[in-house]
Amino acid sequence: MSEITLTINGKQCKGKQGDSVLDVCVANGIELPTLCHFKGLSDVGACRMCLVEIEKERNLVPACTHPASDGQVVRTSTEKLEKYRRLILELLFTERNHLCAYCVATGDCELQKLAYKYQMDNARYEYAWPVKTVDSSHPYIVMDHNRCILCGRCIRICDEITGAHALDFGKRGWKTNVCADINQPLGESSCISCGGCFQACPTGAIFSKASAYKGKTAECTAVSSVCTICGVGCDIKGLVKDNHLVKIESPDMAKPRGLLCQMGRFESLYNPTEKVRTPLKRNSKGQLQSCTYKEAFETIAKGLGSGDTVAGLASGRASNEALKAFSDLMTKTLGSKLVDTLDGNDFRTITEGIARFDARAGLGMEASLEEILTADSIVVIGANPIKSHPVVGSYILRATAKNKSNLVVIDPLRNPFTFRATVWLRPPEGKKALAVKAIGKAIVEHGLPKSAGDKSKFSVNFKDTDIKKAAKDLDIDVHDINRAAEVLAESKNGIIIYGDGVLQYKDADIVALILNLAALINTQPKVISLKRYGNSRGAWDAGLGNPDNTVAAELNKGKVKGAYLLLADDPAESQALADSLGSVEFVVAQASYLSPVTALASVVLPSLHWTESKGTYTTIDGILKSTAPIVKVSEDILTDADTIKEIASRLKK
Amino acid sequence: MAKVKIATVWLESCAGCHMSLLDVDEFIIDLSKLVEFRRSPITDIKGFDDVVVGIIEGCIGNEEEKEVAEELRQHSQIIMALGDCACFGGVCAMRNTLDKADVLKRAYIDTPSTYKGKIPKSPGVPELLNKVYPVNQIIKVDCYIPGCPPEPEAIKYGLTELLAGRIPVVPSNIMRFD
């Protein structure tokens, strides 16, 4: 890109061809007031705050949408401009009901800050006092149209970053309003609750219920950390006031992992139940009672140290440090072979599938999440990332909207992608493998471009499939299969994402087939498996995944006398897990929350929540991320890793 | 030097701005040496006489408030709007998106603590205006000190500037709307 030079306020400023005047100002440290501009979003020139004077231009122009060109002479701050900016502020304040004294955004509001800057101590215009509604139908978000300045940031975030496009302008002219879908209440709309809108809102028009009136940003301390809930590993900024978590924000929504989702933004603000804060052990009446760590450790040393068979199960919610200590405790100290992760079935299905595809490959062969954004075709099989890994869902929606990527959905269930899909195939439950085979065969029949190279090694896996018979068996129109095959065969950079809906069958063959299909539609097979827990990948990398599924088998036989469960901060109910432990005499549960498992445990140990502790976590695509404690807890509570190491040292004696 | 005469009026608002006026710490002593408060809720003087500065707290929401504001304008060289209500309408302007009849019904009849309530109607009770107005929409205002309530620092700045013969505009760093 060629370099251009502008004169801004008499200073020589360099920019690139294609920059806006505002881009050049920002790059050269020249401040301009803005309201509708937001980093990472396209510019629309809605608010007119960034008006500048450019020599030889007939009118004042908004810097955000005006292309910079070589030799332009720009002035950003003249008496005329300042007069207009104040006028714009007065118009904005009188257009709707902006009453700072009782507005949720006061102190954080960009409109208010500009009014202070331009010393707007009164408005010369008549106030419109329009009758506007407040929409609080959404579980987390409130939309107050009284405070809206129609800058459109929320709409652009929702469309360009989140990809949901749940918001848009409704009505026209004086009656223009931000509305969800076809003017439905936000709570009943297709909003996916990512919270991008209220982070981008410059005023108090959209805000989070859980954070409202709990503290202004200036009163809060910001702690940089990483969300560990789903394994995408979004960078976050936790805002804390008086050691109370006020809100979780994205440090930079323009970055790929800077979006955040419903889970990341809200899960930690709505704690489901009371946390376990001290060790608990059974008293003489058999009830769990708070005790000291010393008492708990002694009981555990007695219960697990008797030489009987001990099984260990770890949740992928724990940190790498805790998982490493757990692995050492189980295998080295206790010498147990009965160790697994709670999602061990997924581990076996995925790793076995990869091994059948290529014996030398491992989890490291999986694609990085950012590759979804650049893929020209995306296949989603048995997954609803909008629910399980919402940011992955957003990537898919963005790719289809922005790059016009083709989307093939193979799922009997409707999800937010199905209406965006180029082809939606609905194989009956349990027949996804056949659908994959049929598409593979159709791709081979359609023929791959010569540039694809020799794909016979992969296509051989599909040769026995009869498309017509498969279509009949699947109750799918043969044309749909061919259409899917056509878009995939012609794509140069295809990626496949699969999740729960595939893994639930514990069938490594489907995974192998998916990998073969991925190899057909890209030079290197690009596949992403959506793992259940935030640190599933870390747990598997730590060697906690059990390749032979021995734990469940031994538990069934009733031979396991002791069990140690590292549940960490998973708030999910685990009745099935508790049921499988029925025959175990001595259960240790290390958890943040009480659950059916802690209810049958002999000893419960507290586990710090991810917002309270320091640790590393591995994302689903293998990137190592570190958390920092956002809120402080009593120093008496040990970290997961220290707790486990302490137990190990006692068992060694 | 003769003391500068100041009148203050309390229109539709909570009196918080007058509180803030008294909250300027030791400046109140310096101020009392320089100014003489005439009609004001602080002095309880009722009638109007000519003053240099007329300070208005509160917005204008009924006939009486309108009359008082207009009369103060006639007697003052400079009018200062003090606080969000006077400058923008403030909290009182919440009723501006509602119908006047509904507001009266809600206040005098529907409130849970009201027993056999009725909307007062007598020559002694001023009639509500259809809307609440910032002072500058009824009379000419010369300077503004916004805030709910205004920062004592901003009030001090405003009065100091006025006494020095300048029309104050509150600097950005001490301007508040909340």
pLDDT in tens, A506-547: 999 999 999 999 999 999 999 999 999 999 999 999 999 999
Residues 6+ apart with CB under 8 A from B124: none
How do the domains of chain B map onto residue ranges? Answer: 4-97+132-174
Q: How far is B171 from chain A (nearest CA, A)?
A: 7
Nearest to A437 by CA among A406, A468, A396, A405: A468
Q: Is A274 on the interface with B (CB under 8 A)?
A: no
CB contact under 8 Å between B170 and A119, yes or no, is yes
**pLDDT value at position A1?**
66
Q: Sorting pLDDT into bands at 50, 70 and 90, what band is A256?
A: confident
* CB-CB under 8 Å, B94 with A122: no
How many whole angstroms separate alpha carbon A32 and alpha carbon A398? 30
Q: Is A126 on the interface with B (CB under 8 A)?
A: yes
Distance CA A649, CA B6 (A): 80
Dump pLDDT digits (tens) for A69-122. 999 999 999 999 999 999 999 999 999 999 999 899 999 999 999 999 999 999
Contact of A102 with chain B, judged by CB distance below 8 Å, is answered with yes
Question: What contacts B165, CB < 8 A, 6 or more positions away?
Answer: none
CB A614 within 8 A of CB A641: no
pLDDT of residue A307: 76
DSSP-assigned beta bridge partners for residue A190: none
Give the pLDDT mean for A140-145: 98
Single pTM value for the model = 0.93
Q: What is the pLDDT of residues B22-78, one digit of tens each?
A: 999 999 999 999 999 999 999 999 899 999 999 999 999 999 999 999 999 999 999
Chain A residues touching B131 at Cβ < 8 A: 129
Q: What is the mean pLDDT of residues A268-275?
A: 82
For B146, nearest residue in chain A (alpha carbons): A121
Average pLDDT, chain B: 95
Q: What is the CATH number of domain B4-97+132-174?
A: 3.40.50.700
> In this structure, which long-range contacts are made by residues B162-166, counting pairs with CB atoms below 8 Å and at least 24 apart in sequence?
B162/B53, B162/B78, B162/B80, B163/B4, B163/B34, B163/B35
Closest by CA to A518, choosing from A343, A347, A361, A344, is A361
Distance of CA A204 to the CA centre of its chain: 25
Nearest CB partner across the interface for A101, out of B84, B145, B171? B84
Domains and CATH numbers, chain A: 3-77 (3.10.20.740), 124-266 (3.30.70.20), 280-343+535-612+632-652 (3.40.50.740), 346-529 (3.40.228.10)
> What are the tens digits of pLDDT across the range A196-209?
999 999 999 999 99
Listed in sequence order, the residues at least 6 apart from A265 whose beta carbon sits closer than 8 Å to its beta carbon are: A140, A193, A194, A195, A208, A247, A248
CB contact under 8 A, B97 and A132: yes
Mean pLDDT (whole number) for A18-34: 97
What DSSP string describes A611-639? TT--EEEE-TTS-EEEE--SS---TTSPP
Is A127 close to B93, i.e. CB distance below 8 A?
yes
Q: How does residue A272 score in pLDDT terms, banded at 50, 70 and 90?
A: low
Q: What percent of chain A has pLDDT over 70?
A: 100
Mean pLDDT value across chain A: 94
Looking at residue A328, what is its pLDDT?
A: 96
Residue A552: Cβ-neighbour burial (10 angstroms; 0-12, 13-18, 19+): middle
